Structure 1
Amino acid sequence: MNGPPPAAFPAFDVSKRDRADALTIVGLTVAYRTRGRERDVLQDITLRVRRGEAYGLVGESGCGKSTAALAVLRYLPRNGRVKAGRISIGGQDIAALDADALREMRANAVSMVYQDPGRALNPSLTIARQVSEAFEASGASAAHALERTADILRRVRIASPARVMESYPHQLSGGMQQRVVIAMALACNPELLILDEPTTGLDATVEAEVLDLIAQLRAELGTAVLFISHNLAVIGRMCDRVGVLYAGKLVEEGATRDVFARPRHPYTVGLLRCLPSTGRSKDTGRLDTIPGSLPLPGTVTQGCIYAERCKLADERCLRDAPPPYRVASANGDQMARCHYHERAIDLPHASSEVPAQPAQPADLARAPVALRAQNVSKTFHVGNEFVRAVHDVSLELAQGETLGLVGESGSGKTTLAKLLLGLVSPDEGATLELDGASLASRVTRRNGAQVKSLQIVFQNPDSALNRAHSVRRLIARSLSKLAALRGAAKEARLQSLAESVRLPERYLASRTRQLSGGLKQRVAIARAFAGDPRVVVCDEPTSALDVSVQAAILNLLADLQRERGVSYVFISHDLHVVRYLSDRIAVLYLGRIMEIGRAAEVFGGPQHPYTEALLSSVPSLDAANGGAAASERIRLSGELPSAAHPPSGCVFNTRCPRKLGAICEEREPPFADAGDGHRIRCHIPVQELRTLQLVQT
């Protein structure tokens, strides 16, 4: 498909689009050439996406999801090629298109939205120029393209298109950038829209808005969607059918409700069981994980590719590759490549094979306070304005406790974490204490014991680990700095640390570029624990990980907490993950704590109206499986106000769906006691909030 085309080709015929499936893939095999050897990364893939249908593609990193998308666009890298198979868009074979016809197809029939909108937008061009280019590529004049740009920005729910058109990408929020990218993708009214992890970096409310937008535009325009994601709940909400990729093979396919309610391949069963389910926490049981790892492309030449990780595997599985078994399910045919597909759902839970760990003490109020922060604020001078990023925050963190910090992007979560770590100095009047002793506001003024007592695990381990050094050197360097160990003592401690984070010894000699995302994060955690910290800040440590790797990392953090009594400040947009790991939760909005309390009380209600809106935005597999449906999503009006000019009274009043009136605009609400340390900053009485929210659900 990447070689020279035949001598003559017809132009891409847009008129054929209404007469065939939006996308048809038959027998697709794609190979990459690395180190002089060609390896198959996709093997004999067959699927179709009907007109107007949403098809989800799921699986671990490295299973071939993005390669499939690039093959559809005929945009494989130089070392990749299509070895076999056929790809048709609107009934036309894309291999039979010359350069001009291929450009025509990309301009008028298929569009793609990538994971990171910031990297998809040119930082040196205005939004108007970039979006209008998409219309010009479809044949519009420059003047007409600008007119249509304003219209398409309104269609993707941008309230002030004129202002946004004059802006540069860095002046927009992540959610606004993603809407702009979607607008560009929809400029040609495509037959097929490919979404490659479009909401991974977005907070719950923005993610919900983007998903609502995609669903609405799909209904209005009849656009087919190929949705690639590792977020199974998002796939459950958005997609009619789903395909499960494993090591380059499509191992299961069917209607999303059928596959998620009764999966027939052990791999699909494993993926679904890795998710933190409603009501589960670290104290009620470990998360399931999938043992082992993906095989290297091209290494499995006989039998079932999943056999090495499957509890059902026997000699037949190692000898004979399973054919695609098809059965009739409630919503259509369901396919699974498993000899024992009828038994997959009855596999024992992996967590049941792990000895139960002692639970955390139920009353953390009796545990000593590890970290205390009082009256912490932070004001930045930006241009001619003063921006109050954190406003008068007070909190305590008990020994062995996890405090979850949640809120939209821009709510002050990361700034608060940096203030606790001493990476940013607070405004005057703040007090920080570690184990009852005063803690200097700047890390450079803290003693060695205090520095090693507070550590951080970042979202992206690649940015925190030196790619030129081996894993052994990275951990050993931290041991020298934080634990002051030398010689045999350092080596013994290094081995113990690697074992505690479940990092196999064979990886100690590797460079980080040779490791998977989950292994890199284990190295980052080992480094953070080198000095036996008292408090570890976890800033989105699992958001970029597959569900199987995420479950392993969450189990690891819970195990280390039990073993060492360490406390966590856990920041995440994924409220299911926050609920699983956190003992207490603090909800931030414009730098203020709007609600704080034990996780069960915050999630169970009554809640601050902002918390209520956040929770209603989170997609759930329960609803996708036909179980108890979540409450109707509460849509917040407008965007997060500027911290330089916060609203008067209650800072949430400009977006609050339960606003009372003038009192909310004029008076800042005090904290109300909801019992058991649960406090809510709202003018609405706690009992009235409870009654209102019971009616809502």
Structure 2
Amino acid sequence: LACDPKLLVLDEPTTGLDATVEAEVLDLVRTLRSQTGAGILLIAHNLGVIRSMCDRVGVMYAGKIVEEGPAEQVFDDPKHPYTIGLLQSLPRRGRRKGERALATIPGTLPSLGADLPTCVFVDRCPLATDLCRTVVAPVVDLSTDGVPRMTRCHYPELVSTIEERESASILSSTGETVLQIIGVSKTFRQSGHDVPALVGVDLSVADGETLGLVGESGSGKSTLAKAILGVHSPDDDGGEITLDDHQLAAQTGDRSTEDKRAMQIVFQNPDSALNASWTVRRILNRAVKKLTGANQDETDRRVAALADHLRLSPRHLDMKPSQLSGGLKQRVAIARAFAGDPRIVVCDEPTSALDVSVQAAILNLLAELQSDQRTSYVFISHDLGVVRYLADRIAVMYPGRIMEVGDTDALFAGPQHPYTEALLSAVPSVDGEPSTRIRLEGEIPSPANPPSGCVFHPRCPRVLASGICATTEPPMLEASLGHTIKCHIPPDELRRLQQTPADASLG
């Protein structure tokens, strides 16, 4: 901005950010656009962000713009098969894994440098005919009333007839508690000061269940995940973590082979998680041998079975990670996590760097693996739509504390903790649905100097005028069976208040 640009290019400016910070960044972009008059080229795979921010949208595939036009028209009435495929891949309007698997686009993106003489999307297109394979797709002018719009397709008038591919629901059921987190606290020592990262966390995960963990950066999600895995040990007298009713050793190195095998992780970035110099086969071979102690014949059999289950071809097994797409790399990372038939898999933002069609395939895969093997997930994500689709229950964290936990449907239906309410209000809708945004003042507090009373009270839009929020730690109140909220405001009162804007302090 120092050079007073006429064009500002923003390349994935909100990827990896939580909903409230993302909303603040987008507010800043809107302000800059208004104040400077600069044009903005926004590159993003979050379609909700694109819908909320952009006047016009260009959809790219294999190096070509396949559709371009006013944002509202492109989202509400797409005219290219790829565009509608992207929109159908989203977990929209509260869809859950138990209702229907997400739609995906069959096939994969062409490799760089591939010869694509006619239509770039022909091999994946449900409308493709011999014409598409022999004649270059024309640029069709769809402009109306002087508003320019185009698509690159032989059959734009048929795009609206493309129905979402039939997909079965992914059945899931939960059983007895497999993981129990009891009063876990973790304090770090920094510059001579105690910094509490976790404070008395109580959670449980059932057999075959997905527990979603949400909250702003700095809320303690990753610290809790590392405590579960034994990377960080809880404080002395700082609670315990049990697996199948036996207490886990605090550190990974002190855990038995069976316990290590039972708990695995899928990281956000497979590029840094996978050994770049090894083939996929060698990566999976090592995981199987280390976790199961299998001989070479048994290892080969298990690797082949893993690859088949994860839809990795024999060709993929002999490739290195750099030769794979982002989605295939994440499949390899998931295969490695499942090499020892784990009981619990921690998924730390596993889809945040993926486009929506690949994201849908990975979410379906995780749900299928869970259904087949009754694996439990602790699923960390900033994408609340993704969490809503996959999670059976959700826990909301704010500086090391659980502020709300409950069944996914109950949590979204409300009442919600005021912090949860603010998170949900900040999510941009790909459907263009209006929402009342709750703007939180200030920053998430430093764990080194947390506020007294309720840790959320300095930012809370519903802080009580009586002052109790600033002086007294709130209780965990039951909103419904299994749904609890850490707040001084009774759940029935929260429900009533959340029907109206949060614009006044309460008595």
1:406 is aligned to 214
Shift of 1:300: 3.0
Which of 485, 508, 524 aligns to 2:317? It is 508
Classify the secondary structure of the residue corresponding to 1:295: coil
Tell me the equivalent position of 2:81: 266
Q: Is the 8 A contact 1:258 1:329 kept in 2?
A: no
Structure 1 residue ranges (4+ consecutive) displaced by more than 3 angstroms after TM superposition: 328-331
Q: Does residue 159 of structure 2 align to residue 341 of structure 1?
A: no
Where does residue 422 of structure 1 map in the other structure? 230
Provide the residue aligned with 2:189 in structure 1: 381
* Structure 1 position 345, deviation (Å): 2.1
Q: Where do 5+ consecutive residues of structure 2 fail to align?
A: 503-507
**Corresponding residue number in structure 2 for 1:115:** none
Write the distance in 1 (CA, Å) between the matches of 2:234 and 2:326. Answer: 34
Residue 519, structure 1, aligned to residue 364, structure 2: no
Structure-2 residue corresponding to 1:550:
359
Q: Give the equivalent residue in structure 1 for 2:385.
A: 576
Shift of 1:639: 0.5
SS at match of 1:342: helix
Pick one of 195, 205, 209 that aligns with 2:10. 195
1:369 pairs with one of 171, 177, 181: 177
**What residue in structure 2 maps to residue 71 of structure 1?**
none
CA shift for structure 1 position 296 = 2.5
Structure 1 position 439, deviation (Å) = 1.4
Distance 1:481 1:565 in 2: 22
Cα separation, 1, equivalents of 2:429 and 2:11: 20
Q: Does 1:360 align with 2:168?
A: no
C-alpha distance in 2, partners of 1:426/1:457?
Answer: 22
Q: Over residues 452-486 of structure 1, what are the superposed CA-to-partner deviations in whole Å (9 max), with x where a residue is unaligned?
A: 00000000111111111100000000000012111
AA at the equivalent of 1:492: R
- Structure 1 residue runs of 5 or longer lacking an equivalent are 1-185
Task: Verify the 8 A CA contact 2:99 2:169 in the aligned structure 1.
Answer: no
Q: Helix, strand or coil for the counterpart of 1:696?
A: coil
**Equivalence map 1:651-690=2 (5 Å):** 651-661=455-465, 662-690=467-495
1:298 CA drift (Å): 3.9
Deviation at 1:297, TM superposition (A): 3.5
Query: Which amino acid letter does the alignment assign opposite residue 543 of structure 1?
Result: S
| Aligned residue identity for 2:498 | Q
Of the three residues 461, 465, 469, the one matched with 2:278 is 469
Moved more, 668-677 or 428-437: 428-437
- The one-letter amino acid of 1:534's match is R
Q: 1:287 to 1:301 in 2, by over 3 A?
A: closer
Counterpart in 2 of 1:602? 411
Structure with the greater relative contact order (CA < 8 A, sep ≥ 6): 1 or 2?
2
Judge conservation of contact 1:257–1:331 (CA < 8 Å) in 2.
Answer: no
**1:142: which partner in 2?**
none
Whole-angstrom distance in 1 between the partners of 2:422 and 2:476: 19
Is the counterpart of residue 311 in structure 1 residue 117 in structure 2?
Answer: no
Matched, 1:694 2:499: yes
Distance 1:298 1:467, change over 3 A: closer
Confirm or deny: 8 A CA contact 1:653 1:665 kept in the other structure: yes
Q: How does 1:297-308 map to 2 (within 5 A)?
A: 297-308=112-123
CA distance in 1, matches of 2:195, 2:326: 35
Q: In 2 relative to 1, CA 310–565 (structure 1 residues): closer, same or farther, beyond 3 Å?
A: same
* Matched residue type, 1:250: I
Distance in 2 between residues matched to 1:332 and 1:475, nearest whole Å: 53
2:291 alignment partner, one of 464, 475, 482: 482
Q: 1:357 to 1:224 in 2, by over 3 A?
A: closer
CA–CA separation in structure 2 for the residues paired with 1:528 and 1:459: 13
Q: Say if 1:508 and 1:388 are closer, same or farther in 2 by CA, change over 3 A.
A: same
Shift of 1:358: 5.2
**What amino acid maps onto 1:380 in structure 2?**
F
Work out whether residues 258 and 330 of structure 1, in 8 Å CA contact, stay in contact via their aligned partners in 2.
no
Task: Kindly indicate which of the two structures has a greater share of residues assigned to helix.
Answer: 1
**1:561-581 deviations in Å (ceiling 9; x for gaps):** 000000000001111111111
TM-score of the aligned structures, taking structure 2 as reference length: 0.97
1:149-164 equivalences in 2 (<5 Å)? none
Report % sequence identity: 56
Q: Which residue of 2 aligns with 1:539?
A: 348
Structure index of larger Rg: 1
Residue 443 (structure 2) aligns with: 639
Q: Which of 204, 211, 232 is the equivalent residue of 1:396?
A: 204
The amino acid that maps onto 2:234 is P
Residues 255, 331 of structure 1: 8 Å contact kept: no
1:216-227 matches, within 5 Å, as 216-227=31-42
Contact 1:534 1:567 in 2 (8 A): yes
- What is the match of residue 648 of structure 1? 452
- Per the alignment, in what secondary structure is the counterpart of residue 195 of structure 1? strand
What does residue 401 of structure 2 align with?
Answer: 592
Q: Distance in 2 between matches of 1:298 and 1:679?
A: 54
Q: How far has the Cα of 1:293 moved from its partner? A: 1.3
CA distance in 2 between partners of 1:472 and 1:211 (Å): 43
8 Å Cα contact 2:178-2:205 kept in structure 1: yes
Give the Cα–Cα distance (whole angstroms) in 1 for the partners of residues 105 and 123 of structure 2.
11
Alignment deviations for residues 98-123 of structure 1 (CA, whole Å, 9 cap, x no partner): xxxxxxxxxxxxxxxxxxxxxxxxxx
Cα drift, residue 357 of structure 1:
4.6
For 2:202 and 2:236, the matched residues in 1 are separated by 14
What pairs up with 1:106-255 in 2 under 5 angstroms? 186-255=1-70
Q: Using a 3 Å threshold, how does the CA distance of structure 1 residues 230 and 286 change in structure 2: closer, same or farther?
A: same
Residue number in structure 2 paired with 1:629: 434
How many residues align? The count is: 500
Q: Which amino acid aligns with 1:370?
A: V
SS in 1 for 2:403: strand
Match of 1:435 among 244, 247, 255: 244
Q: Distance in 2 between matches of 1:330 and 1:571?
A: 46
Conserved 8 A contact 2:75-2:431: no
Corresponding residue SS for 1:333: coil
Counterpart residue number, 2:375: 566
TM (norm. structure 1) is 0.71
Root-mean-square deviation (CA, aligned residues, Å) is 1.3
Distance in 2, Cα, partners of 1:272 & 1:668: 44
